[in-house]
Chains A and B, each alone.
Chain A
Amino acid sequence: MLTPVTDADGAPFWRYAARGELRVQACADCGEPRFPPRPCCPHCRSFTSEWRPTSGRGRIWSYVVPHPPLLPDYAAQAPYNVILVELADAPRIRMVGNLVSEPGAPLGSFPPDQVRIGARVQVVFDGDGLPQWILERP
């Protein structure tokens, strides 16, 4: 499996994720959240930022179901779902992830044909600190 190749701006996200926290970068001056993380606020041009906790809740904005040819580790789990989650606390932030049956379950554990746009989801984390999503009301 591919693990996140982080950059300086993104590293805090992954450090919080490793502790089981979904946080997003926000401007420390004007408060606007932004994603992906970057050095400067596009609204007020401030270079100071903070990492704001989120509720970890969201809704599915869209999804795809990849089929091979894929990289081998992914082909072995295909067809699986990849979802795009609009965060309840910051609707312009849409995070790519996977809808799984339970924390730590493989990519293909939730049946792709049961994924629905608009479904409410809750973040969980696998053993490596990778964010995953489960249905809010299974």
Chain B
Amino acid sequence: MTGIKDATAIVGIGQTSFAKHLPEDERTLACRAVLAALDDAGIAPGEVDALASYTMEETDEVELAKAVGFGDLTFFSKIGFGGGGSCATVAHLAAAIAAGQATVGVAWRSRKRGSGPRPWTNTAVQLPTPAQWTRPFGLLRPADEIAMLARRYLHEYGATRDHLFNVALACRNRANQNPAAVMYERPLTREMYMSSRWISEPLCLYDNCLETDGALACVVVSAERARDCRRAPVYVHSAAQGLPAQHHGMVNYWNDDPLTGPAWAAARHLWKHADFTPDDVDVAQIYDAFTPLVPLSLEGYGFCGRGEGGAFTEGGALETGGRLPLNTGGGGLSEAYVHGFNLINEGVKQLRGTSTAQVPGAATCLVTAGEGVPTSALLLRN
């Protein structure tokens, strides 16, 4: 039983520009990104028969299929938990195509978080957290919920704000090589970081992702079909979702061990079905809505031991030429925060050899989705 290993490949990627404000609406941006990805793959829209998206996506399958002119769809999937679903879109398409339920799949994300309302201000909606136990006490935003874990993490393991800065800096340095990044040509210094305003102590401005308008998409087909496509295939080598026992959403405070989050659950399946190990990963795209998610994920995905995620960031480990080059397009912290989809497309660029911060000879890439919420991850290879 080989499962989905290398049975499918990403053969097209597309994106709009990224900005604090784009004039077009989310549906238009979604259509543009999807058409760009199909054009990149050299596949006609009428051939698409599978779609995958994740929750908090405003452009639904019906609207997208009508607007772009897809064929009959035989598979469509919407994954829960917001940014935790990004990698699962590709995973669901890969599973469907490997199982013969569809032939050409498109995953996408379109958001206007830069110019649109912030989700946490909508108090009429029960956000995917147990709101009655948190919000009356002023724990209102995702930043507050993750800062609670971050404070404990710093306390328990002696990790420091300098470690969080290392994460922010690596992302910003890569964004400064990426003309499409929102933070292109805007260098970050330690002094800027340490003197910036607080959002939720211990997290400051630069520990938080960007508010961005933009859309991205990618195209998944069988490995066999991929050989005839315009671009070199990027194979979906392993994929997993992760919802650990007794998990509670972004306020994962009621299980035995809140500092081992969904990454740990996803990682166990991911590596079990892979032909290589964390030591063999050439470049990583790790979900960075907030800087502390990176050390937590480094531990969860097995790049270092428990409590060692902060120290792992030292000595330029996350920079180009370091032990694990990270978020080479700039990530959610400095390229664009489009709920993590830009990390998927950046992984594809690395394995095609076309990244603006190319890791020489990159052959394997880990991509992860939102940590702290039920998550997903991909191992890609060329």
Contacts and interface: CB of A to CB of B under 8 A. Distances in A.
Contact of A2 (B136, B151, B200, B201): B136
Nearest to A3: B136
Contacts of B148: 62-64, 82, 84
Contact of B246 (A1, A42, A71, A117): A42
A96 B198 contact: no
Interface stretch (B75-83, B138-146, B279-287, B310-318): B138-146
Contacts of A61: 152, 253
Nearest to A6: B132
B140 A84 contact: no
A119 interface: no
Contacts of A62: 148-149, 151-152, 155
Contacts of A70: 138, 140-141
A111 interface: no
Interface in A2-56: 2-7, 10, 14, 35-36, 42
A1 to B, nearest CB: 7
A71 B202 CA distance: 20
A82 B151 contact: no
A2 B198 contact: no
A36 B253 contact: no
B233 to A, nearest CB: 43
A57 to B, nearest CB: 18
Contacts of A2: 123, 135-136
A107 interface: yes
B136 A66 contact: no
A64 B155 contact: no
Interface residues of A, number: 39
Q: Which of A6, A82, A94, A98 has the most CB of B within 10 A?
A: A82
Contacts of B123: 2, 71
Contacts of B200: 64-67
B201 A35 contact: no
Contacts of B254: 35-36, 92-94
Contacts of A93: 254
Nearest to A1: B136
B155 A98 contact: no
B256 interface: yes
A71 B121 contact: yes
Interface in B172-202: 197-202
A64 B130 contact: no
A66 B141 contact: yes
A95 interface: yes
A107 B286 CA distance: 35
Chain A contact residues, majority secondary structure: loop
A7 B132 contact: yes
Contact of A82 (B126, B139, B149): B139
B251 interface: yes
Interface in B339-357: none
A74 interface: yes
A7 B197 CA distance: 37
B248 interface: yes
A125 interface: no
Interface in B268-322: none
B130 A130 contact: no
Given A62-B152, A66-B200, A96 B121 contact: no
Contacts of A5: 126, 131-132
B41 interface: no
A36 B201 contact: no
Contacts of A117: 151-152, 155
Given A64-B151, A92-B256, A74 B198 contact: no
Contacts of B149: 62
Contacts of A104: none
Interface in A115-134: 117, 130
Given A6-B132, A35-B133, A66-B199, 6 more contacts: A2-B136, A4-B133, A36-B132, A74-B140, A98-B138, A117-B155
25 contacts: A2-B123, A2-B135, A3-B136, A4-B132, A5-B132, A6-B132, A10-B132, A14-B132, A35-B133, A64-B139, A64-B200, A64-B201, A65-B198, A67-B201, A70-B141, A79-B201, A80-B138, A82-B144, A92-B254, A92-B256, A96-B133, A96-B251, A97-B137, A107-B137, A130-B136
